[in-house]
Amino acid sequence: MKKGNLLLDAGIVGLALFATIFGAGNLVFPPILGLTAGTDWVPATLGLLLSGIVLPVLGTWAVNCVGDHAKFLTYHVSPNFYTILTCCSVLLVCVGSTLPRVGATTHEVGVQSIFPNCPIWVTVTIFFAVTYYFARERESVIDKVGKYLTPALVVIIGIILVKGIITPIGEIADPVLAKPFVSSILEGYKVGDLTTTLMLAHVFIYALEEKGYIGADLKKGVFMAGIVCIVVMSAIYVALTYIGATGGSLYPADISRTALLSGIALNIFGKTGQVGLGIVVALACLTTSVTLAASAAAFFVDLCRTKFGVQISYKWLIRGICVFCAVAGTFGVTNIINYVTPIFLTIYPPLIVLTVLGFVDKWIPNDGIYKGAVYTSTFFGFLDGVIAVFPNFTGLYDVLSYIPLFTDGFGWVIPSLAMGVIMGIVYRGKPRNYCPKTEERLAL
């Protein structure tokens, strides 16, 4: 296949990567961080940039370091680890929380501020009907998102953010958020973008391969796409966090995320600002919804075919996913976020470990390092999730508090590092297991 302009093609893929990451959570989390961080909004922003933007893009780059699919990473843990991880991510995170949340956010931030009497079920029904329209043809999803939806999203939100920076809505108040840098890193967990980029890294790598790029050109293109995503996302995050901080004299610290975002738009541009925000929210949430719904359906199609020998319809799965998410979306943003927090606390540590190991893979002597670090991080992440669900379980908290960094939310780091070294010694001299390469393009 004839190659085109690498810069242009990487830019389109980078915008598609941005659009896939940038959804409901990316709109509602930064302003509330800025509001609660107050004069400490800069370290809060840096923490959010690290966990909410840089880390997810690193996930895509880590996959590209070892192959064109996350299976090449997880195979070193176990041949079946990828299937288990992906099933949990797709069912609990993607279909169970992210997709319903973007539908609910579209209603609470966008539609409700313009049509306050509109029921949420009407909004989510229309939203997922549009999602189905864009996602029903799996082959064209990336081009649709990168060429049409994303540019409109960037232009509209850019206008709102520039106005909010030039004419601040209020004064920055004193901080009420303890440890803003650490707290914002943990807040970035709830957005869940590392889950998305690791599971979907191959989609963007395939998109460049299909344009004729291989070898060094492919790696360069993926890197450039990631840079595009980081630049666009960083500009939006910094602006949203700053604007949220300037609302310290206007809004209480316990205001809901969606009410704050809607109120900011009203203060910046009046009713016109709320209408513009409604369009931004709908586009941001729609781009995420389209890509995730398409990938989730494609994953189950391939899983049923390869594991069980059963052929099921991609379009029927898309319909089923959209119907389920429309129903789940009626529970509202706050309830969905509360439900998903312990899930992210459990699965994020092993995903971070996999990302780091992917970058240093060529220097790893055996798979024991993968096994020790990933399984240990999963175990301690699970304990963090248990404490989040049962905050009165003080006995477990007191025991774990002896682990370095635990009180900061990173108690899994030292044990994972130590167990990775120990298992590396145990597996010394044993050959590594590599995922067999295939010409087949996998959905997930």
List, for residues 301-352, the tens digit of each pLDDT value. 888 888 788 888 888 999 999 999 999 999 887 788 777 788 888 888 999 9
Type of residue found at 345:
L
Question: Is 73 within 8 Å of 61 (Cβ atoms)?
Answer: no
| Higher-scoring residue by pLDDT: 373, 146 | 373
| Torsion over CA: 206, 92, 46, 400 (sign) | negative
Q: What proportion of the chain, given as a percentage, has pLDDT over 90?
A: 30
Per DSSP, the residues of 222-248 read HHHHHHHHHHHHHHHHHHHHHHHHGGG
Tokens of 209: 């391969």
Q: Is the pLDDT of residue 359 over 80?
A: yes
Give the pLDDT of residue 111: 84
Cα separation of 378 and 362, whole Å? 23
Cα separation of 4 and 396, whole Å? 57
Farthest-apart Cα atoms in the chain, separation = 67
Question: Is 415 within 8 Å of 442 (Cβ atoms)?
Answer: no
Confidence tier at 441 by pLDDT (50, 70, 90): low
Give the pLDDT of residue 126: 94
| Torsion over CA: 1, 306, 65, 223 (sign) | positive
Tokens of 187: 């807040």
Confidence tier at 78 by pLDDT (50, 70, 90): very high
**What is the arithmetic mean of pLDDT over 265-287?**
77
Give the pLDDT of residue 356: 93
Question: Is 205 within 8 Å of 220 (Cβ atoms)?
Answer: no
Q: What is the per-residue pLDDT across 382-398, written as a single tens digit (0 to 9) for each?
A: 999 899 888 888 888 88
Q: Is the pLDDT of residue 3 over 70?
A: no
Type of residue found at 429:
G
- Residue 147, C-beta contacts closer than 8 angstroms, at least 6 positions apart: 12
Q: What are phi and psi of 84, to 5 degrees?
A: -65, -45
Counted residue by residue, the chain has a size of 444
Give the pLDDT of residue 424: 95
Type of residue found at 234:
S
Question: Is 243 within 8 Å of 34 (Cβ atoms)?
Answer: yes
| Higher-scoring residue by pLDDT: 25, 39 | 39
Q: What is the per-residue pLDDT across 102-126, written as a single tens digit (0 to 9) for each?
A: 899 888 877 887 788 889 999 999 9
Mean pLDDT score across all residues of the chain: 85
Cα separation of 428 and 423, whole Å? 8
The 8-class DSSP code of residue 435 comes to: P
Give the pLDDT of residue 442: 57
Type of residue found at 15:
L
Q: What are phi and psi of 441, to 5 degrees?
A: -90, 120
Number of helices followed by number of strands (H, E) in the chain: 21, 0
